[in-house]
Amino acid sequence: MNTPPRPRVSVLGAGSWGTALAILATARADTLLWARNPDLARTLSQEHANPRYLPDTVLPPTLAATADFQQAIAHVCSADDDNALIILGVPVAGLASLCEQLAQALAQTPPRGMLSIVWTCKGFQPDTGQLPHQIANQAFEAMPDLGLGVLSGPSFAREVAQGLPVALTIATAHDWTAQATIKALHGANARIYTSTDIVGVEVGGALKNVMAIACGIADGLALGTNARAALITRGLAEMQRLGLALGGQAPTFAGLTGLGDLVLTATGDLSRNRQVGIAIAQGKKLDDILAGGLTAEGVRCARAALALGRQHEVSLPITEAVCKVLFDGMAPMQAVSGLLAREAGPESPSVYF
């Protein structure tokens, strides 16, 4: 009996999440990790470590790394079947430029079989308010045969890299992309679920970071677990309202990429967005927090989310309060008081089926 060929995966971006997914994929696929920095690529390959992004994590000896972008693309484009997968492990701010670079590389080295491209970033493009799928669709509009999708869900990169259990969702309109992702990542300690609601998955991933900042502020002010529970619940309602306005589906927000990701990011000690909120509540300035190396997608996308809410006439009171604290100099406790002073009204369910 002939053994089916192993899937081929190229992960573009050797930050914490890109490296963690490359570790996960290595167990099931021939995986190549691309790092922009040649020194980092050598460290990944020779020392089997990523000391900057995943300290104390030993990489599998079979995980190869390169700083040669064309080599990373050729690795998957030479596959003859439908199991070729490219994972884009960069933040939203770098997605457009990476997609443009990738489109140019694919024009030079067309894939032999069906090729899937999935991204993992969460947020809105700050300047345009675009979601990641809109950025990707624009970059690859001349390549309709590509399978595109978003991989999301409640996950801290460090835990995935350590082999701890995780459940993720691949949202795509292409069945072969869902299957390529499952073949590369599903099994052992990772479960991969499928969805067709790309908008809902992306909105959940974006807004939950803003809500995590709000929960961090509440925790930093020692407002208690009651306040945190209220922020999570009403934050979920905000996520759903904006998601539905943009074309998402209600049940998505009760799943892994909605409620699941929100609970993790709003309560987990590894959450950078929550850490930003705590630091703000402790009196630190946002510029100083960011200058110290603590980056969080919620900071980058909060204004874009609020602008989209106003454009679609969707009420986002928690998002608005976070923006006032982060960018307008409002004292955290004043923002909390403003939320508490809102008029009473009926609570409709956060998630409708």
270: in domain: yes
The count of structural domains within the chain is 2
Confidence of residue 298 (pLDDT cuts 50, 70, 90): very high
Averaged pLDDT, 281-305: 91
Asked if residue 205 and residue 124 are part of one domain, the reply reads no
- Whole-angstrom Cα distance, residue 240 to residue 220? 26
Asked if residue 189 and residue 78 are part of one domain, the reply reads yes
Asked if residue 237 and residue 185 are part of one domain, the reply reads no
Angle between helices 175-185 and 16-26 (to 10 degrees): 80
348: in domain: no
Query: For residue 9, how many other CB atoms are within 10 A of its CB?
Result: 30
Asked if residue 229 and residue 186 are part of one domain, the reply reads no
Averaged pLDDT, 3-13: 90
Q: How far is CA 339 from CA 210, 234, 274, in A?
A: 15, 11, 19
Query: For residue 38, how many other CB atoms are within 10 A of its CB?
Result: 11
- Model confidence, pTM: 0.95
Q: Of residues 208, 284, 285, 324, which has the active-site annotation?
A: 208
> Looking at this protein, which amino acid is placed at residue 106?
L
Asked if residue 157 and residue 60 are part of one domain, the reply reads yes
pLDDT in tens, 162-206: 999 999 999 999 999 999 999 999 998 999 999 999 999 999 999
Averaged pLDDT, 305-331: 97
Final residue belonging to a domain, choices 177, 196, 215: 196
Asked if residue 214 and residue 173 are part of one domain, the reply reads no
pLDDT in tens, 17-63: 999 999 999 999 999 999 999 999 999 999 999 999 999 999 999 99
Final residue belonging to a domain, choices 172, 196, 220: 196
The two three-digit tokens of residue 249, written as one number: 């589906």
Q: Is 208 a catalytic residue?
A: yes
Please say if the pLDDT value at position 1 is more than 60: no
Please say if the pLDDT value at position 353 is more than 50: no
345: in domain: no
268: in domain: yes
Asked if residue 209 and residue 147 are part of one domain, the reply reads no
294 vs 198 pLDDT, higher one: 198
What CATH number does residue 298 fall under?
A: 1.10.1040.10
- Whole-angstrom Cα distance, residue 280 to residue 274? 10
23: in domain: yes
Asked if residue 314 and residue 280 are part of one domain, the reply reads yes
Asked if residue 64 and residue 87 are part of one domain, the reply reads yes
Which domain, by its residues, includes 261? 199-340
Instruction: Spell out the alpha helix ranges (H) of 162-257.
Output: 175-185, 198-220, 225-245
353: in domain: no
So what's the pLDDT on residue 31? Answer: 98
Averaged pLDDT, 102-111: 95
User: In the chain, count of helices (H) and strands (E)?
Assistant: 15, 8
Asked if residue 286 and residue 171 are part of one domain, the reply reads no
Asked if residue 148 and residue 240 are part of one domain, the reply reads no
What CATH number does residue 71 fall under?
A: 3.40.50.720
210: in domain: yes
282: in domain: yes
Confidence of residue 352 (pLDDT cuts 50, 70, 90): very low
Asked if residue 238 and residue 170 are part of one domain, the reply reads no
Final residue belonging to a domain, choices 164, 196, 228: 196
